[in-house]
Amino acid sequence: MPEGIANSVEAIEVEAEKMLEEARTRANEILLEAREEARKILSSPLPLDAVKTEYDRIASRARAEADEKIRDSEKKAVEISTNADKKAREITELMINIVTGKR
């Protein structure tokens, strides 16, 4: 009986070693595949065309918005200037009327 147990233990050990070796082999294969994939990724060119296109689109939109804001600001400046001239004339006329007694 002890000999049968010893044989069973040896068989289990042999099977465990066999499984461990298979696991090591598979782990090495996975590492090799991962290294190869990493090498491919690192050696591949970056998709700069997509980045450049997005940059151009964003820059173009920003320029358009800036141009629109400049046009709006110029319109407002003209309105303010026109209103200031009008107010200055009204104040001048009011002062003349007060001095001449027309008011």
Rounded CA-CA distance 80/85 in Å is 9
Question: Percent of the chain having pLDDT more than 70?
Answer: 93
Check residue 2 and give its pLDDT.
Answer: 60
Q: In 3D, which of 66, 62, 44 has the Cα closest to residue 54? A: 62
Contacts of 51 (CB under 8 A, 6+ apart): none
Question: DSSP state, 44?
Answer: S
Express each pLDDT in 51-82 by its tens digit: 889 999 999 999 999 999 999 999 999 888 88
- Of 68 and 1, which is predicted with more confidence? 68
